[in-house]
Amino acid sequence: MGRGAGWRVVGLVGLVGLLACGPGATDELQEAISDEDDVHQGIPPRPPGGGSADDADPVSGEEDAGTPPEAPDGGPPPGAGDGPDAGSGGPAPDAGPPRMGEFPPVQSHVPTFALELAPSDLAKLEAAPAANVYVPCTVTLEGVRVKGRMRYRGASTRDLPQKSYKLELAPGQELGDRNHFELLASWLDGGKLTEKFAVDLYRAMGLPAPKARYARVSVNGEPQGLYLDMEHVGKDWLKHHGRERDASIYRCGHRNCELTPRPGSYQSNFEKKTNETTGREDLTAFLAWVNRSDDARFEEELERRVDVEAYLGNLAADALISNNLIEDSRSFWVHELHADRWTYVPWDLNNARMFYWRTWNPESRPVVDRWPQSFTLYDPAVQDLFEMRVVTRPEQRPTWSVLATRVWDRPALRARVIAKLEEALAGPFSEDKALAHIDALWTVVEPELKDDPHASAEHVRRAREFLRGYVRGRRAYLLKELKTLEAHGDGPLVIREVAAGGSGYVELYNRGSGTLRLEDYEVTNDLRATERYRLRPGTLGPGQAVRLLASGDTSRGPLHLPFTLSRNGGEVGVFGRERRSAGTGKPVLYGPEDAIWYGPSSRAPTLP
C-alpha cells in the first residue's frame, strides 16, 4: 500500500458536511461522497496498498510440517524441512566474519562429533522420537572429550531415517568456547547444499544469521553421515556476535512468527531463552507497538526500536532464497536491554523454495517465481497456506508478519529493501559469486556424501546443478519484477483518514483517473478476517472521498459500518471484492487495496 507522507489518523471528531455528486448511489451514501476540495484541506492523499501475485505452494519446515505440497512436476510430495544449522567446535562454525558482500571462506576440514550413550538410553530415544527427553552422553570433538546430554530435535522430521540432535554440555564443559550444539541431519535436502548456501548468503549480506559448518556425526561408533553444525542462538550467540551479554532472547512460538499481540489457538507463545526468571513486559510492549502504533510515526519509531538495517536486509535475503514458511521457522528476536534495541535472527532457512527436496522426483526443476514479499499481507502464499490448513484446523487464521507488511507499505523503507535486493543481485547473489560459492561448497559435500549411509545417490548427482539453476532462474525473475515491487501500492483507492472512538469513521479517497464502484470493495477492522463488510452501491469519481461511520450498526444507513474502531489502536483495510481465490472462489485474503495501523488515542485506556 505504500503510503505517502500526507495522510493522517485522527482521534475523536465529528462527521463533517460533504457535497453530493455522482450517479448510481443511494441518496445518503452518495451525499457522503465529496470532491477533494471540500474535504480536509491541506492533507494530500497517500498512496494505497496492493500487491502483485505470484503463486507458490507452501512448503513446511523443521518446526512443523503441516501438509506437504506436491512437487512442481507432479512427483511425490515433500516432507518438512529439518531445521537450521548451528555452530562449530570453535567460537564460530565458519572461518570468521566475511567481508561485506563476500561469502564466508569455505571450510577445508570436516570435523566429527562422536556421540556415546548407553544402549538403553539410545533405545529410549528411538522408542519415543517425538519426546523432548534428554539422555546422558559423552561428546568427543577434535580429540576433546566432554560430558553432556542429548535429545532428538526438530518436529516433523523426527521419524526420518537420519535424526537431528540437540546437545547441551555439562556445567563448566565447553568445546571451542561453546556449550550448546544443534546438529542438523538435513535428510530432506537432496544434496545438503541449500541451507548452508542460504546461511552463507545471509552472512555475506552482513546479517546476524547463525553461522554453520559441515560436520560428521557418529553414534556409538556408527557413522550417521554429513550434518550441519548450526550455531545455537543463546548466550554463546550473544558473545560471538558482539551483543550485550545480558540481552533477552525470545523465540517465536510454534507457527507464530507473525508478531501479533497474542497467539491464536493453533499457535504457541514466544519462548524466553535467556533471563528466563525475569518478566516479559518488554516483549509485550514491543508487540503492542508493532500492532497498535500510528503509521504516521512508524518509521521514526522503527529506527529507534529495531536494528533496521539488519531487518530490511533480512527481507531482501528472504526474497533471494524464496523463504517460504517463515511462520514455522521459530526464528528469534534479541532484545539488548541497555540499547533498548530489538534484532531479528532468522532460523530455519531450509523453509525456502530454493530447497532441493529429496522426496521430489530427482529431475524436478527449481521453483523460481515465488513472489518476493515473503510472509506479508501481499504474499499469495498466505492464501495457499490458509486454505491448506483450515481443512483440518477450522480455527486457522491467515498468517503473515505484521512488521514485514508495515515495512513494505512505507515508500522510504520499501526503497531501502529494494536497494538491498539490487545490491545482493549485483554482489553475492550474482551468477559469478553465487555459482562459485556453490561449487566450493560442493568440493566439501560431494566426497562426504559418497560415504553417507542416508544420502540419495540420484539426488546427489543433480544437487549442484539444481541449486545453480535456481540461482540463475531466481535472478532473472527478480530482475524482471523489480519495477513491480517499486510500484507497490499504486492503486486508485486509499484510506485517507480514520478516527477511533464513538465518532469513529473510515474515509476512502479515489486518487485515480477513473470512477470506482464502491460495491466492488470490502472494508474490515481485522486484516486477518476471512469475511469483510461489502460496501453499498455507489460511485466514487476521481478526486472524491466518502466517509464511512464506524458505528457498529449498519441499520442506521448505508454510511454505517458493522464495526467500531477501538481507542486502544488497531488496523483498517479495504480489499477488492472481485479478486477471488483460484482454489475456493472466495475473496482473497491477501493484497488489500490499502491498509493502515493506528495507535491509541490520548484518552484511550491502558493497553491490555
According to the model, what pLDDT value does residue 99 have?
Answer: 74
pTM over 0.95: no
One-letter amino acid for residue 204 of the chain: A
pLDDT in tens, 500-551: 988 899 999 999 999 999 999 999 999 999 999 999 999 999 999 999 999 9
Q: Are strands 544-549 and 570-576 parallel, antiparallel or unpaired?
A: unpaired
- Span 8-22, average pLDDT: 34
- Span 94-121, average pLDDT: 88
The string of DSSP codes covering 500-560 is -STT-EEEEEE-SSS-EEGGGEEEES-TT-SS-EEPPS-EE-TTEEEEEE--S-GGG-TTB
Write down the mean pLDDT value for the chain.
86
Per-residue cell: 476: 532473472
pLDDT of residue 63 exceeding 90: no
May I ask the CATH class of domain 8-50+489-598?
Answer: mainly beta
Give me the residue spans of the domains in the chain. 8-50+489-598, 112-240, 248-484
pLDDT of residue 73 exceeding 70: no
pLDDT in tens, 188-199: 999 999 999 999
Strand order in the sheet with 248-251: 271-272, 248-251, 332-336, 341-345
Q: With residue 159 as reference, give the H or E element that holds it.
A: none
Return the closest-CA partner of residue 183 out of 252, 60, 82, 333: 82
pLDDT in tens, 141-173: 999 999 999 999 987 788 999 999 999 999 999
Band the pLDDT of 34: cuts 50, 70, 90. Answer: low
According to the model, what pLDDT value does residue 97 have?
Answer: 58
Buried b (16+ CB within 10 A) or exposed e, 26-54: eeebbbbbbebeebbeeeebbbbbbbeeb
Q: Which of 28-42, 48-62, 583-597 has the highest mean pLDDT?
A: 583-597
Measured distance CA(592)–CA(579) in Å, rounded? 10
- Span 586-592, average pLDDT: 92
Out of 22-36, 77-91, 208-222, 488-502, least confident range: 77-91
DSSP 79: -
Neighbour count for residue 127 (Cβ, 10 Å):
9
According to the model, what pLDDT value does residue 80 have?
Answer: 34
For the chain, what percent of residues have pLDDT higher than 70? 83
Return the closest-CA partner of residue 320 out of 470, 97, 483: 470
Q: With residue 32 as reference, give the H or E element that holds it.
A: none
According to the model, what pLDDT value does residue 74 have?
Answer: 36
Which SS3 state, helix, strand or coil, does residue 206 take? Answer: coil
- Span 441-468, average pLDDT: 96
First-last CA distance in the chain: 29
Q: Are strands 594-598 and 570-576 parallel, antiparallel or unpaired?
A: antiparallel
